[in-house]
């Protein structure tokens, strides 16, 4: 079961059981302790832009390996 996560619809805290993963549809997700997979970023294009932005920020900070 895959649900979009919303704090407005689900105010209780859910402990993640898995690391963040990108699914086959390009969405950033995690599995909660209740067994429900939650979508954090549902737009693959937005996720790609966020990842590119993070990479640029890391390069500007002089992260290890750059």
Q: What is the pLDDT of residue 64?
A: 59
Annotated domain spans of the chain: 2-61
What does the buried/exposed string (b/e) look like for 33-44 if buried means 16 or more CB atoms within 10 Å of the residue's CB?
Answer: eeeebbbebeee
Q: What is the pLDDT of residue 47?
A: 85
Phi then psi dihedrals of residue 37, to 5 deg: -80, 130
| Cβ 4 vs Cβ 41: under 8 Å | no
> How many other C-beta atoms can be found within 10 angstroms of the C-beta atom of residue 15?
7
Q: In tens digits, what is the pLDDT along the chain, a chain of 66 residues? A: 555 555 566 567 888 999 988 888 888 889 999 999 988 888 888 888 888 887 777 776 775 554
Q: What is the pLDDT of residue 51?
A: 84
């Amino acid at each position: 079961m895959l649900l979009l996560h919303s704090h407005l619809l689900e105010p209780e805290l859910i402990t993640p059981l898995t690391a963040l993963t990108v699914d086959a549809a390009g969405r950033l997700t995690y599995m909660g302790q209740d067994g429900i997979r939650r979508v954090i970023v549902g737009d693959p294009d937005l996720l790609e832009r966020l990842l590119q932005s993070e990479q640029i920020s890391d390069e500007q900070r002089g992260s290890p390996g750059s």
